[in-house]
């Protein structure tokens, strides 16, 4: 934070005028100029003492209306500022904001409502600090000023924007019956809970009270395995694919991250169990229908940047091919596309921000449905959807 000068422009002018008066008094012998010069300098010194001497301390607490701020989303920040001082000063307050967050975080102090607050809008994903709170006061003559920072900073997490996508034309996986790829996992609904007799060591929180009352003995809930289709979303963050590697803003990479988040949430809403990994094999999120899973994935995607190298896709997929396989990458040439195999996935979709000559045709020979990813994420998704996805045989 750049600190302001102690003197305002008016104060600097007063000092210059006072010095000029003293010099002119010596040159022309006008005693009135001596008094005027001393008055201006003394008044400026008094103003500096008025703003610097009072001791101030204060505490700041910020509350944001949303836990996670989405890019382009607006949220309200409420600031509780308790200033401990003999006399309440009048001035201007402002909360320091990073460039990744837009907002008008300033106002008059003390406010008429007694509460400080402002709106912020997410501009760039990441974890960013809000604060400190800065109070600027000026003496009654407007000659001297004081800026003082109060409180600690608070971080705000800006996550990628999630767009609404068109549905898959045909269900893929165990639920749809096209490719019998499924995962056995513990169900979370009431339909897949069956009571059994209590065994010492079972958690009391699992007691099924209705079944206990019905049977006259302690019964506990036992989750049964349910079969549901799997989907895999891969974000290729290898540095070689992107023109702006590292932490610098790259619109193409931001669109890729947003598409990754949108596809993962969309497939989860369609009933798939979704795993999100990067091209190095790092797990970014696992979506199984819980809000916490979604938030955890979005936080992980808020921190990713282009770096590292990509692993072979077959290694990332593993032994059991998923239903939908979504691969999101940056610049892709024909040779690289020819090496990209969907590893038996029933519905492989490939998105690239920059396709070289012949790259789309080389990928399509392996069964990929290819689309160029531009600024419109939803449009790119629709471009990749065939009329009947997964209806035909897919070449491996």
pLDDT in tens, 207-255: 777 777 777 788 877 654 444 578 999 999 999 999 876 666 899 999 9
Q: What is the mean pLDDT of residues 156-161?
A: 96
Q: Write 2-10 long-range contacts (CB < 8 A, 24+).
A: 3/147, 4/136, 4/145, 4/147, 5/145, 6/48, 6/51, 6/52, 6/144, 6/145, 6/146, 7/44, 7/48, 7/143, 7/144, 7/145, 8/138, 8/142, 8/143, 8/144, 8/145, 10/141, 10/142, 10/143
Band (pLDDT 50/70/90 cuts) for residue 291 is confident
Q: What is the DSSP string of 331-358?
A: EE-HHHHHH---TT-SEEEEEEEEEPTT
CB count within 10 Å of CB 155 equals 11
User: Is the domain covering 57-159 a CATH 1.10.10.60 domain?
Assistant: no
pLDDT, mean over the chain? 86
Q: What is the mean pLDDT of residues 254-278?
A: 95
Band (pLDDT 50/70/90 cuts) for residue 2 is low
Residue 201 has what pLDDT?
A: 65
CB count within 10 Å of CB 28 equals 8
Q: In this predicted structure, which of 7-21, 34-48, 196-210, 246-260 has the lowest mean pLDDT?
A: 196-210
What is the spatial distance between Cα 99 and Cα 105, in angstroms, rounded to a whole number? 13
What is the spatial distance between Cα 32 and Cα 239, in angstroms, rounded to a whole number? 73
Q: How many residues does the chain have?
A: 396
What is the spatial distance between Cα 294 and Cα 189, in angstroms, rounded to a whole number? 18
Residue 292 has what pLDDT?
A: 81
Residue found under tokens 């836990």:
67
Q: What is the mean pLDDT of residues 316-337?
A: 90
Residue 223 has what pLDDT?
A: 57
Q: What is the mean pLDDT of residues 319-346?
A: 91
Residue 370 has what pLDDT?
A: 96
Beta-ladder partners of 101:
122
Q: What is the DSSP string of 93-108?
A: EEE---TTEEE--EEE
**209 near 280, Cβ under 8 Å?**
no
Highest CATH level, class, for 227-384: alpha beta
Task: Check if 57-159 and 227-384 are the same fold.
Answer: no
Band (pLDDT 50/70/90 cuts) for residue 132 is very high
pLDDT at 161 over 50: yes
Give pLDDT tens digits for 30-40.
899 999 999 99
Give pLDDT tens digits for 265-274.
999 999 899 9
Record the tokens describing residue 16, joined without a space: 């210059």
What is the spatial distance between Cα 357 and Cα 106, in angstroms, rounded to a whole number? 52
Name the maximum alpha-carbon separation found in the chain. Answer: 113
Q: What is the mean pLDDT of residues 290-296?
A: 86
Domain map (residue ranges) of the chain:
9-52, 57-159, 188-223, 227-384
Q: What is the mean pLDDT of residues 253-262?
A: 97
Sign of CA dihedral 192, 195, 200, 206: positive
Record the tokens describing residue 339, joined without a space: 């090496």
Q: What is the mean pLDDT of residues 308-317?
A: 90
Residue 191 has what pLDDT?
A: 40
pLDDT at 158 over 80: yes
Record the tokens describing residue 149, joined without a space: 């920072």
Residue 376 has what pLDDT?
A: 96
**306 near 242, Cβ under 8 Å?**
yes
Higher pLDDT, 233 or 197: 233
In order of 196, 214, 299, 334, 392, the CA distances from 295 in angstroms are 34, 39, 6, 36, 35
Residue 391 has what pLDDT?
A: 42
Return the percentage of the chain with pLDDT > 70, whole number. 86
What is the spatial distance between Cα 57 and Cα 82, in angstroms, rounded to a whole number? 9
Q: What is the mean pLDDT of residues 168-185?
A: 46
Helices marked H in 219-376: 251-269, 291-302, 313-317, 334-339, 359-364
Q: At what angle do helices 251-269 and 377-384 cross, to 10 degrees?
A: 60
Q: In this predicted structure, which of 125-134, 174-183, 280-289, 353-362 has the lowest mean pLDDT?
A: 174-183
3-state secondary structure of 252: helix
Beta-ladder partners of 135:
93, 148
Closest to 47 measured CA to CA, from 12, 92, 74, 99: 12
DSSP state of 191: G
Return the percentage of the chain with pLDDT > 90, whole number. 67
Closest to 38 measured CA to CA, from 12, 13, 11, 20: 20
CB count within 10 Å of CB 312 equals 13
């Amino acid at each position: 934070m750049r600190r302001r000068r102690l003197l305002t422009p008016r104060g600097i002018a007063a000092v210059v005028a006072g010095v000029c008066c003293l010099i002119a008094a010596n040159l022309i012998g006008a005693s009135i100029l001596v008094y005027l010069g001393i008055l201006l300098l003394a008044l400026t010194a008094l103003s500096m003492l008025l703003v610097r001497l009072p001791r101030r301390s204060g505490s700041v607490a910020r509350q944001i209306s949303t836990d996670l701020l989405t890019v382009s989303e607006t949220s309200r920040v409420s600031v509780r500022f308790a200033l401990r001082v003999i006399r309440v000063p009048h001035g201007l307050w402002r909360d320091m904001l990073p460039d990744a967050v837009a907002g008008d975080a300033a106002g008059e102090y003390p406010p008429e409502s007694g509460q400080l607050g402002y709106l912020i809008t997410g501009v760039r994903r990441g974890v960013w600090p809000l604060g400190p709170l800065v109070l600027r006061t000026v003496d009654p003559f407007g000659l001297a000023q004081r800026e003082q920072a109060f409180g600690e900073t608070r971080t705000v997490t800006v996550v990628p924007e999630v767009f609404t996508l068109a549905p898959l034309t045909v269900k893929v996986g165990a639920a749809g019956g096209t490719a019998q790829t499924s995962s056995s996992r513990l169900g979370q609904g009431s339909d897949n809970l069956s009571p059994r007799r209590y065994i010492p060591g079972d958690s009391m929180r699992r007691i099924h009270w209705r079944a206990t009352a019905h049977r006259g003995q302690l019964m506990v809930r036992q989750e049964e395995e349910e079969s549901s289709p799997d989907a895999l979303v891969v974000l290729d963050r290898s540095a070689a694919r992107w023109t702006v590697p590292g932490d610098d803003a790259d619109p193409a990479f931001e669109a890729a991250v947003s598409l990754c988040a949108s596809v993962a949430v969309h497939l989860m809403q369609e009933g798939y169990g979704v795993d999100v990994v990067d091209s190095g094999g790092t797990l970014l999120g696992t979506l199984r229908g819980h809000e916490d899973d979604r938030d955890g994935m979005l936080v992980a995607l808020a921190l990713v940047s282009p770096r590292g190298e990509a692993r072979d896709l077959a290694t990332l997929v593993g032994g059991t091919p998923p239903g939908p396989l979504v691969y999101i990458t940056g610049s892709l040439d024909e040779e690289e596309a020819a090496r990209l195999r969907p590893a038996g996935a029933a519905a492989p979709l490939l998105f690239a921000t920059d396709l070289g000559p012949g790259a789309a045709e080389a990928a399509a020979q392996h069964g990929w449905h290819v689309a160029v990813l531009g600024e419109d994420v939803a449009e790119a998704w629709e471009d990749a959807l065939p009329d009947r996805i997964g209806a035909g045989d897919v070449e491996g």
